[in-house]
Amino acid sequence: MKNVLSYIIAGIIGGCTFFGIQQFTTENTQVQNSTPDATYTSNHAIGNASSAPFDFVTASQKATKAVVQIAAAESEVVANERRQQNPGMDLFNFDFGDLFGGDMFGQNFFGPRKGNGSGVLISADGYIVTNNHVVGFADELKVTLENGKEYNAKKIGTDPSSDLAVIKIEGSGFDHLSFADSDNVKVGQWVLAIGNPFNYLASTVTAGIVSALGRDLDIIKNNQGKTIEDFIQTDAAVNPGNSGGALVDVDGNLIGINTAIATPTGVFAGYSFAIPSNLARTITRDIIENGDIERANLGIAGYDVDEELAQQEGLKVTQGIYVAEVMPGSGAQFSGILPGDVVVELDGKSVKNFEDIRDQMRFSKVGDTVKLKILRNGSYETIAVKIRKTI
């Protein structure tokens, strides 16, 4: 009897325990199951374009209307003049690839040159900014708008040192973009690249982020030896034909002109480079006002002054540029700069080394005048130097 009673009591206790465990498990199962439902709902909402923090539709619609396709060609007359100026040298001087890798195949080395690229309308009356390597060689230019309309264009001017150029089509009321402030561009922000890759993928939009700022890669080809590079680096896909196209932010503001890619193959390999809009704005304004820009230097060569040089030459300054040579025919020679002078200021700004002169004169061109403060025989004087084309 005692054994039977024990079994009954044990059964009651076991049943209660099982019921309690079942209730606890059921409650926890309900809490856990609610989480996937909530996650699914949340993810579904994020995936809906209307609920996203931004999309690229508005920026794309705005920018593609202002990006044009450019067909550039060298007439037979210009080709003949080039051949006469460089007899027998065409093959050796031929540029086997523009900054996007180019395409040398199918080109006639000794005939008129041709090329294609992109450009950005920057005014309602038809001014277009593009790359010098797209149009610099050409005297026949045809522009096709996003809507398919074609126009003949004329070249306003070029600046080989920055690889920028301006061309113009006749008309009014063109959709266009205004230069935004590229100083506000940040690493990591989303950007769009718009252009015409491979000459047949018209009005192509790609997206990426800003990977780096202020890239100076020494990739602009300029026979004057002076270049201005301050690229915005992105991972937005661009290819041959994108040269001169637009780099815009998510609001469609023009923050750069696509110019180059880093590539071992001639096509996109992960990184592209654009000229910042602030730099492009300054140079295009100058081109529109003055035509072709020819950069020039002061025409001096020398050494950065340090304590050792100052002691050796008996100078009373320990920084500046010691002039060792003045180039014949340069602005420095015509203005009276002499070997032994020490340049300590340029246009009122301190000069510590040649980098300072290069940075301060990066936009200087033939015809400009700069003021140099120099130390000569222990005394300071200021000399105005008019920049000349160096012989």
pLDDT in tens, 150-159: 999 999 999 9
- Which of 246, 266, 295 is at the close of a domain? 295
Closest CA to 181 of 251, 272, 281, 252: 281
The reported pLDDT for the residue numbered 214 is 83
The reported pLDDT for the residue numbered 365 is 79
Domain shared by 75 and 185, yes or no: yes
Domain shared by 286 and 147, yes or no: yes
List b or e across 345-366, with b for residues whose CB sees 16 or more CB atoms inside 10 angstroms: bbeeeebeeeebbeebbbbbbe
The reported pLDDT for the residue numbered 222 is 60
Write the DSSP string, 117-140.
EEEEE-STT-EEEE-HHHHTT-SE
Whether 171 is in a domain gets the answer yes
Supply the CATH number for residue 222's domain.
Answer: 2.40.10.120
Q: Is 203 left (phi over 0), alpha (psi -120 to 50) or beta?
A: left
Residue in this structure with the two tokens 């529109």, named with its chain if needed: 288
Whether 27 is in a domain gets the answer yes
How many angstroms separate the CA atoms of 267 and 198, rounded?
Answer: 10
Residue in this structure with the two tokens 């539709």, named with its chain if needed: 57
How many angstroms separate the CA atoms of 131 and 136, rounded?
Answer: 8
Handedness of CA 184, 185, 190, 196 (dihedral sign): positive
The reported pLDDT for the residue numbered 215 is 85
Whether 332 is in a domain gets the answer yes
Task: Report the number of distinct structural domains present in the chain.
Answer: 3
The reported pLDDT for the residue numbered 87 is 57
Catalytic residue among 163, 286, 341, 356: 163
List b or e across 267-299, with b for residues whose CB sees 16 or more CB atoms inside 10 angstroms: ebeebbbbbbbbbbbbbbebbbeeebbbbbbbb
Instruction: Provide the domain limits for residue 38.
Output: 2-51
The reported pLDDT for the residue numbered 151 is 96
Domain shared by 307 and 335, yes or no: yes
Domain shared by 58 and 41, yes or no: no
The helix/strand/coil state of 309 is helix
Tokens of 290: 């003055």
Query: For the chain, how far is it from start to end, CA to CA, in angstroms?
Result: 126
Closest CA to 174 of 135, 243, 128, 205: 128
The reported pLDDT for the residue numbered 229 is 80
Closest CA to 208 of 58, 57, 56: 56
Q: What is the pLDDT of residues 163-197, one digit of tens each?
A: 999 999 999 999 999 999 999 999 999 999 999 99
CB count in 10 Å sphere of residue 239: 22
Known active-site residue 163: yes
The segments of the chain whose pLDDT lies below 70 read 1-54, 83-110, 221-226, 390-391
Compute CA distances 221 → 161, 340, 350, whole Å.
Answer: 8, 33, 30
Whether 271 is in a domain gets the answer yes
Catalytic residue among 182, 243, 277, 330: 243
Domain shared by 269 and 324, yes or no: no
Backbone angles phi, psi at 72, to 5 degrees: -115, 140
Supply the CATH number for residue 367's domain.
Answer: 2.30.42.10
Catalytic residue among 133, 162, 211, 364: 133
How many angstroms separate the CA atoms of 20 and 164, rounded?
Answer: 79
Domain shared by 32 and 128, yes or no: no
How many angstroms separate the CA atoms of 75 and 381, rounded?
Answer: 52
Domain shared by 92 and 213, yes or no: yes
Backbone angles phi, psi at 259, to 5 degrees: -135, -35
Compute CA distances 52 → 45, 46, 129, 188, 205, whole Å.
Answer: 8, 6, 33, 18, 19
Known active-site residue 243: yes
Residue 241 amino acid letter: G
Domain shared by 181 and 170, yes or no: yes
How many angstroms separate the CA atoms of 77 and 85, rounded?
Answer: 13
The reported pLDDT for the residue numbered 225 is 53
